[in-house]
Structure 1
Amino acid sequence: LYARNEQYRSWLKLDKDSRPIAFWMTGFFNPQGFLTAMRQEVTRANQGWSLDNVVLTNKVTRMDREMLKDPPREGLYVYGLYIEGAKIKNGVLDELKANEKVLTHLMPVIHISAEADFGTGAAPTKQDRRPVYYAPVYKKPRRTDRNFVCTLKLECPPGEKAGPDVWALRGVALLCDTK
């Protein structure tokens, strides 16, 4: 509760036209509404886009919150998410070792933005061909529809034995709160 209060207080101290460098996702009562507002902001900034055709996109950075100097040009940085069932190493999913007793790990900062999806059927670019796992994001560890926030793309390591199905079977998910 104290951290949530601090986030809001620091936000109020900013100039009217500025924004925080990063947002603590756990501090929002309604993270889905926050992400929808960001989608609306990106949609308004791009002529010819409709909110119906705009989807979330993300990139896991290799930075901690303290390393950020400026907010992104488009979208936003979020921090404070945890990954359960795996960990992130160099921006890529990595398996937990059998002797590790910690099931959740703090995620690095994630850049979340929005992009137009007009369903043109364009061929994927070379970057899009990398296998990704669409990890569900939940507010709490209890994985119910009520706690579901969105899905975020996590890059899979190279190799056929570490594709998206492997991470789905391991139950990998992102959590806003571990309690």
Structure 2
Amino acid sequence: MRQEITRNHKGWSLDNVVLANDVLKMVTKEEVTQPPSEGVFVYGLKIDGAAWRMSREKGGHLSDPPPKQLYSDLPVVHVYATNEPKALGNAYYTCPVYKKPRRTDLTFIFTLSLKINNNNPDYWCLRGVALLCDTK
């Protein structure tokens, strides 16, 4: 995707292009009516170690999971590439995405930036929060 977007924008260098994302308010893939103008919509990711709480005024953010719930669904995510990375600060947790629950460098795909509410990003890192494509 980085290469494709770099080709579409004249003057962009592949070395400077980074992935960015936005978690949308669309919860299921059926709510998506048309493709994005640039990038891809990703759906079906499961959150391991946390849950996603939707709120009207702020969109959504990571929260503690309900008791006895191993995985939670993440809403549709718009992943795109940009030439100017934005500084995220302590308002976002850089969450790794893995293919399977076994977290190794062989199953690692990329990272997504997920909005957090009041906690430090280290809180979620120490809890081992990650996104999974498949839970089996």
Aligned to 1:147: 107
- How does the TM-score come out when normalised to structure 1? 0.68
Mapping of 1:18-167 within 5 angstroms? 38-63=1-26, 64-90=28-54, 91-97=60-66, 100-117=67-84, 124=87, 128-129=88-89, 131-157=91-117, 159=118, 162-167=119-124
Q: Distance in 2 between matches of 1:130 and 1:41?
A: 31
Do residues 176 (structure 1) and 136 (structure 2) align? no
> Is the 1:130–1:155 contact (alpha carbons within 8 Å) kept by the matching residues of 2?
no
- CA RMSD, Structure 1 to Structure 2 (Å): 1.7
Q: Distance in 2 between matches of 1:59 and 1:48?
A: 25
From the CA coordinates, give the structure whose radius of gyration is larger: 1
Aligned residues: 130
> Is the 2:47–2:129 contact (alpha carbons within 8 Å) kept by the matching residues of 1?
yes
**Cα deviation 1:1-53 (Å, max 9, x = unaligned):** xxxxxxxxxxxxxxxxxxxxxxxxxxxxxxxxxxxxx1111111111111111
Q: Distance in 2 between matches of 1:62 and 1:95?
A: 19
Q: Which has the higher helix share?
A: 1
Q: Percent identity?
A: 52
Which 4+ residue blocks in structure 1 deviate beyond 3 angstroms? none
Q: Distance in 1 between matches of 2:97 and 2:133?
A: 7
Higher relative contact order (CA 8 A, sep 6+): 2
> Is the 2:98–2:109 contact (alpha carbons within 8 Å) kept by the matching residues of 1?
yes
Q: Distance in 1 between matches of 2:108 and 2:45?
A: 13
Tell me the secondary structure at the aligned position of residue 114 of structure 1: strand
- How does the TM-score come out when normalised to structure 2? 0.89
Q: Distance in 2 between matches of 1:94 and 1:168?
A: 13
Structure 1 stretches of 5 or more lacking a match? Answer: 1-37
